[in-house]
Chain A
Amino acid sequence: QKEVEQDPGPLSVPEGAIVSLNCTYSNSAFQYFMWYRQYSRKGPELLMYTYSSGNKEDGRFTAQVDKSSKYISLFIRDSQPSDSATYLCAMSAYTGGGNKLTFGTGTQLKVEL
């Protein structure tokens, strides 16, 4: 079993839809959670970072963490064609520069006009 599971998609939605992207994990030591957006042939771009259980909102994006269920989500409201990309969840047990992240496989999202 992988430490982090993420549905690879592809996920296709109409413009304006609410998108829900999810990851589950098995390592209860994970405390820090991140969502990245990656456009084709580009490096991942940090979208959201969360630590505690609950919701964190930033514009059209909301990150949700449920540590008891080992489940994290990223919601995108009013999705736009420019949101079409691969979304990667990432997590780590520790903070600090030397601690590596564990990534999900990424979900490919396409927002259609």
Chain B
Amino acid sequence: GAVVSQHPSRVICKSGTSVKIECRSLDFQATTMFWYRQFPKQSLMLMATSNEGSKATYEQGVEKDKFLINHASLTLSTLTVTSAHPEDSSFYICSARDQRQGGTEAFFGQGTRLTVV
């Protein structure tokens, strides 16, 4: 299957700082990528849809000024958590659908565990 790489896998930051998470499609181009957040023992919660060359589409209740998304190329989307607070500590995961396969199957990155202290 297609490969989606996410970096870093784990990050600890101080409250008030910003953290950037990268998501790359390694062997295919993705005009659209998705960012999820997952709390322990809960399912994936879609935060936003990242669109290459245009603004991201955020789900209801997700602060777009806090979770900045940039999709500057067909293989890279970034999520920046700005002015992070302890309640932002979570597992963040990106995904992309491989259009070569009709965009049916979605592939996920390894996830980033963010801890804000």
| Residues of chain A whose beta carbon lies under 8 Å from any beta carbon of chain B | 8, 32, 34, 36, 41-46, 49, 51, 88, 90, 95-101, 103-106, 108
Stretch at the interface among B61-69, B75-83, B90-98: B90-98
Q: A96-B99, A96-B103, A103-B43 are in contact. Are A43 and B93 (CB under 8 A)?
A: yes
Show 22 residue pairs from A and B whose CB-CB distance is below 8 angstroms, ordered by the A residue.
A41-B111, A42-B110, A43-B108, A43-B111, A44-B44, A44-B93, A44-B95, A46-B106, A46-B107, A51-B104, A88-B44, A90-B106, A95-B104, A97-B98, A97-B99, A97-B103, A98-B49, A99-B103, A100-B34, A101-B95, A104-B43, A105-B42
What is B's interface to A at a CB cutoff of 8 Å?
Answer: 1, 4, 6, 30-32, 34, 41-44, 46, 49, 51, 91, 93, 95-99, 102-111, 113
Closest A residue to B38 by CB, please name it: A38
B44→A103 contact, CB < 8 A: yes
Residues in B with CB closer than 8 Å to A98 are 31-32, 49, 51, 97, 103
Residues in B whose Cβ lies below 8 Å from that of A32: 104
A-B contact count (CB 8 A): 71
| Contact with A49, one of B30, B104, B109 (Cβ below 8 angstroms) | B104
Task: Please determine whether A95 and B6 come into contact, CB atoms closer than 8 angstroms.
Answer: no
Q: A8-B41, A98-B97 are in contact. List 5 more A-B contacts (CB 8 A).
A: A42-B110, A43-B6, A46-B106, A88-B43, A88-B44
| Closest 6 pairs (CB-CB, A-B) | A43-B108, A97-B103, A98-B32, A96-B103, A43-B111, A105-B43
Quick one: which of A49, A51, A100, A106 contacts B43, CB cutoff 8 A?
A106
